């Protein structure tokens, strides 16, 4: 023992305590590593890590139960809306009184992935009693790629409008505005000062309706997962490849039928899986920069969390095959009614 050092009367206990604490800390550290690994597997990236986006989640959309179904219709064009507003007429599959939930989605094109070309999008809706303005959304900001940082890049204009790369996405609940089975939406774009915008073409006008049919005898659960997610070649080129995902939390027993629909903002369809099963497709409803694809997933549905993945289709050799964007995924499940 060195000169001047006084031996503790509890030396053995101290040595044991230090040895035990060292072992405990090592176990705690190992446990933390395991926990972090599990969390990393359970919580995939929220959006394209390079150019960003808003992940599709049910909390942004809705879910419920109806006796009719979940219906949608869409304008798939890519027309300018300054001189003449773009209009889309809808014929609902039910009477106004049987509409359980309805939301209108509109996407307008800014003209650049990152630059600020100020744009005012005015959305009107005629639920059967004439047009009324739902909103006049002013986009006046640049967009910055997250470039593999902790941010998701999404620019929130307000609580019902955001910008991701070159698009403004906006949505409005119109359930209480519908008084007829024939309704319409009208979109006009301009600069905030009223002059002609840099671009302002309309990519999408989509109406989604959950409705009842009292005579059907059916019991249908539905989920609308909403976001503004992307998948780009830039992520691949920068070493942070991305496959998007969304979860449908279901409680099912005797499933008769289950159908899944992807509504996307791209000139070419993507690749998809559902609960690990590849979803093949052909001849999607395809517009200039909009499309949708549906599948019957009755054999794949489970009770609990159901996972859909999506990513860009690298088999498309064109420039625009390098970018894929999706704002909506819809799921319906019909079950046998309890006697």
Residues 222-230, mean pLDDT to the nearest whole number: 98
Confidence (pLDDT) at 17: 45
Whole-number average pLDDT of the chain: 88
Q: Domain residues for 137?
A: 54-335
Q: Where are the alpha helices (DSSP H) in the chain?
A: 11-42, 233-237
> DSSP character for 259?
E
Residue that wins the pLDDT comparison between 214 and 6: 214
Confidence (pLDDT) at 282: 84
Confidence (pLDDT) at 162: 99
Q: Is residue 2 part of a domain?
A: no
Query: What are phi and psi for residue 31, nearest 5 degrees?
Result: -65, -40
Confidence (pLDDT) at 47: 84
Q: Is residue 37 part of a domain?
A: no
Q: Is residue 28 part of a domain?
A: no
pLDDT band at 319 (very low <50, low <70, confident <90, very high): low
pLDDT band at 27 (very low <50, low <70, confident <90, very high): very low
Confidence (pLDDT) at 145: 97
Confidence (pLDDT) at 313: 87
CB of 91 closer than 8 Å to CB of 207: no
Instruction: Give how far Cα 85 sits from Cα of 115, 151, 190, Å.
Output: 24, 35, 10
CA 27, 31, 32: angle at the middle one, nearest 5?
Answer: 120
Q: From edge to edge, which strands make up the β-sheet containing 54-66?
A: 54-66, 219-232, 323-335, 255-264, 291-296, 285-286
Q: Is residue 181 part of a domain?
A: yes
Tell me: pLDDT of 291 over 90.
yes
Confidence (pLDDT) at 280: 94
Q: Is residue 49 part of a domain?
A: no
Tell me: pLDDT of 13 over 50.
no
Q: Is residue 232 part of a domain?
A: yes
Confidence (pLDDT) at 320: 56
The per-residue pLDDT for range 110-169, each reduced to its tens digit, is: 999 999 999 999 999 999 999 999 999 999 999 999 999 888 999 999 999 999 999 999
Residue that wins the pLDDT comparison between 38 and 323: 323
- Total number of domains in the chain: 1
Tell me: pLDDT of 98 over 60.
yes
Burial of 310: CB neighbours in 10 Å, binned 0-12, 13-18, 19+: buried
Q: Is residue 36 part of a domain?
A: no
Burial of 319: CB neighbours in 10 Å, binned 0-12, 13-18, 19+: exposed
Tell me: pLDDT of 256 over 70.
yes
pLDDT band at 20 (very low <50, low <70, confident <90, very high): very low
Confidence (pLDDT) at 317: 63
Q: Is residue 155 part of a domain?
A: yes
The per-residue pLDDT for range 40-68, each reduced to its tens digit, is: 333 445 689 999 999 999 999 999 999 99
Confidence (pLDDT) at 151: 86
pLDDT band at 338 (very low <50, low <70, confident <90, very high): confident
> DSSP character for 240?
-
Tell me: pLDDT of 217 over 80.
yes
The per-residue pLDDT for range 129-141, each reduced to its tens digit, is: 999 999 999 999 9
Confidence (pLDDT) at 46: 67
Residues 171-194, mean pLDDT to the nearest whole number: 99
pLDDT band at 8 (very low <50, low <70, confident <90, very high): very low
Instruction: Give how far Cα 267 sits from Cα of 28, 194, 298, 330, 334, Å.
Output: 50, 30, 28, 20, 32
**Percentage of residues in the chain having pLDDT higher than 70:** 84
Tell me: pLDDT of 23 over 60.
no
SS3 162: strand
């Amino acid at each position: 023992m060195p000169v001047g050092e006084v031996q503790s009367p509890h030396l053995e206990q101290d040595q044991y305590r230090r040895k035990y604490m060292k072992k405990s800390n090592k176990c705690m550290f190992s446990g933390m590593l395991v926990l972090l690994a599990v969390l990393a597997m359970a919580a995939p990236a929220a959006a394209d890590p390079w150019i960003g986006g808003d992940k599709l989640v049910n909390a942004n959309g809705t879910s419920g139960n109806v006796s009719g179904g979940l219906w949608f219709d869409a304008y798939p064009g890519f027309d300018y809306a300054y001189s003449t507003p773009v209009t889309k007429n809808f014929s609902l599959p039910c009477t106004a009184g049987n509409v359980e939930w309805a939301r209108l989605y509109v996407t307008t094109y800014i003209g650049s992935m990152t630059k600020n070309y100020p744009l005012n999008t005015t959305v009107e809706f005629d639920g059967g009693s004439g047009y009324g303005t739902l909103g006049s959304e002013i986009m006046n900001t640049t967009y910055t790629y997250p470039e593999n940082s902790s941010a998701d890049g999404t620019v929130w204009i307000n609580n019902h409008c955001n910008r991701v790369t070159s698009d403004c996405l906006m949505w409005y609940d119109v359930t209480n505005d519908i008084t007829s089975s024939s309704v319409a939406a009208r979109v006009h774009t301009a600069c905030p000062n009223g002059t002609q915008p840099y671009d302002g073409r309309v990519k999408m006008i989509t109406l989604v309706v959950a409705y009842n049919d009292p005579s059907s005898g059916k019991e249908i659960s539905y989920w609308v997962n909403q976001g503004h997610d992307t998948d780009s070649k830039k992520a691949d080129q920068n070493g942070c490849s991305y496959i998007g995902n969304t979860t449908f939390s279901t409680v099912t027993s005797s499933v008769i039928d289950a159908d899944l629909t992807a509504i996307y903002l791209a000139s070419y369809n993507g690749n998809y899986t559902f609960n690990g099963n590849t979803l093949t497709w052909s001849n999607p409803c395809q517009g200039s920069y909009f499309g949708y694809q549906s599948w019957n997933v009755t054999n794949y549905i489970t009770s609990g969390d159901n996972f859909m993945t999506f990513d860009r289709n690298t088999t498309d050799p064109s420039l625009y095959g390098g970018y894929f964007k999706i704002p909506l995924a819809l799921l319906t499940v019909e079950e046998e009614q309890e006697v």
